[in-house]
Structure 1
Amino acid sequence: MARPRTPLLDRRRIGAGALRIADEQGALSIPALARELGVAPSALYHHVSGREEIISLMREELALETGPDDWDPSRPWEQALEAWARSYRGAFATHPGAVPLLATAPLAEPFMHAMYERVAELLLTAGFGAGQVMPLINALENFVLGSALDLVAPPVMVSDVTREAAPHLSAALDDTPTDNRRAELAFDTGLRALLTGFRALLPR
């Protein structure tokens, strides 16, 4: 039998298939991925060593889908960091089901190291101490990841509140958007608060 013109499986297809599985199921397993790609589980191991490498391919596919970020580290550090946070959130928001997997697996990819290098240089140049850099990055990432999940949460997250039992909460909810602006407002408010707090941590 002649070999197919297009290989049935390659690393790009594995990464894309894994993202689809994570979006649909909120988890990833080798048997489920093999079914998604129409191959036997053993066929995957001709291309990857295991689950960790598949998650790495998911990150790579996500980077290819979203394209290069457009944040400019030559701008004032608050502006550059805000642009990075928004770009990062936008990338994760395209595949929210994959967030738990991508957020808890070690970052061994050179292209991820290059991204963190830019952020570390930005913060060090701004005057933060070396010991502050990773806590600042991790704090911002934690917020971004939660915000990405919030984008796919219901527009109304607090419901069935009785005004008699919770009058203050009811007044606050009266002024809370009941569409996708809720998540956007929460992100804008939280990001502004984080950057203001970061500024206060700059060594005198």
Structure 2
Amino acid sequence: MSGPSLYNHFRTKDEILEAVADSVSALVDLSMFEDARDWRTALHEWAVSYRAALRDHPNIVPVLARGPGRRPAALRLADAVYGAMVEAGWPPAQATSVGALMRYFIMGSALGSFAGGFVDDASAYDPADYPHLGQAHLLAEQQEKIDERAFEAGLTALLDGLALQYEQARATT
């Protein structure tokens, strides 16, 4: 399909971007919210699926970051997360915060690569200026592994913190 022929189906560039964003949202697996998985396991599996979709389509992340708008797949995603948290016993206001927090974390992790931000030129990291970056030029070649490990570490820390909040919320009800 040529660029101009897209405008036979969409009136504006924004409509095209919204359609692409919704198709990426539709790639996110939501099945973990449809069975008996506990909220923490479901959030973990959903976050991994969501991040994978964003990693495969990084140029659409800024559009997705604006929120679901009227995109059906994005609204189903928000509904699934919120509904699962409320059904698990999260108070509605906290369920909203959990969904927002998870989106912030996942979107942020998809916006760029920590390891990919370092050039693979050892001379860029003069020990006189950067005494602790002597191996930084090697980070780019390990980009995927480093970024995946960082995402998992952050996700675990985030879920650990949410588990504490969940127990506190349950104790006060």
TM range (shorter): 0.7 to 0.9
Change (3 A) 1:195 1:109: same
Q: Is residue 75 of structure 2 the alignment partner of residue 113 of structure 1?
A: yes
Aligned counterpart, 1:198: 162
Deviation at 1:102, TM superposition (A): 2.3
Q: Counterpart of 1:9?
A: none
Question: Which stretches in structure 2 are left out of the alignment for 5+ residues?
Answer: none
Residue identity over aligned pairs, in percent, reads 26
Larger Rg: 1
In structure 1, what is the equivalent of residue 104 of structure 2?
142
The alpha-carbon distance between structure 1 residues 111 and 145, as it changes in their structure 2 partners (threshold 3 A), is same
Q: Deviation at 1:92?
A: 0.9
What is the match of residue 29 of structure 2?
69
Task: Provide the residue aligned with 2:87 in structure 1.
Answer: 125
Q: Distance in 1 between matches of 2:11 and 2:115?
A: 34
How far the C-alpha of 1:143 sits from its partner, in A, is 1.2
Q: Alignment length, in residue pairs?
A: 162
In terms of fraction of residues, the more helix-rich structure is 2
Q: State which of 41, 47, 51 in structure 1 corresponds to 2:9.
A: 47
Q: Distance in 1 between matches of 2:19 and 2:93?
A: 30
- Check conservation: 1:71, 1:83, Cα contact below 8 A: no
Structure 1 ranges of 4+ moved more than 6 A: none
Q: Which residue of 1 aligns with 2:149?
A: 185
Is the partner of 1:72 in helix, strand or coil? Answer: helix
Task: Give the whole-Å Cα distance in 2 for the aligned partners of 1:172 and 1:75.
Answer: 42
User: How big is each residue's C-alpha offset from its partner over 1:119-158, in whole Å with a ceiling of 9 and x where there is no partner?
Assistant: 1121112222111122221111111112123359617479
Cα separation, partners in 2 of 1:131 and 1:112, compared to 1, 3 Å = same
Paired amino acid for 1:146: G
Going from structure 1 to structure 2, the CA distance change for 1:78 and 1:177 (only over 3 Å counts) comes to farther
Opposite residue 116 of structure 1, the aligned amino acid is A
Equivalent position SS for 1:200: helix
Q: Is the 8 A contact 2:21 2:64 kept in 1?
A: yes
Residues 192, 53 of structure 1: alpha-carbon distance in 2 compared, 3 angstrom cutoff = same
Report the alpha carbon displacement of residue 71 of structure 1 after superposing the two structures with TM: 4.0
Structure 1 residue runs without a partner (length 5+):
1-12, 14-35
Alignment RMSD: 3.2
Q: Which AA in structure 2 matches 1:103?
A: A
User: Equivalents in 2 of 1:157, 1:146: separation in Å?
Assistant: 21
Cα separation, 2, equivalents of 1:121 and 1:54: 29
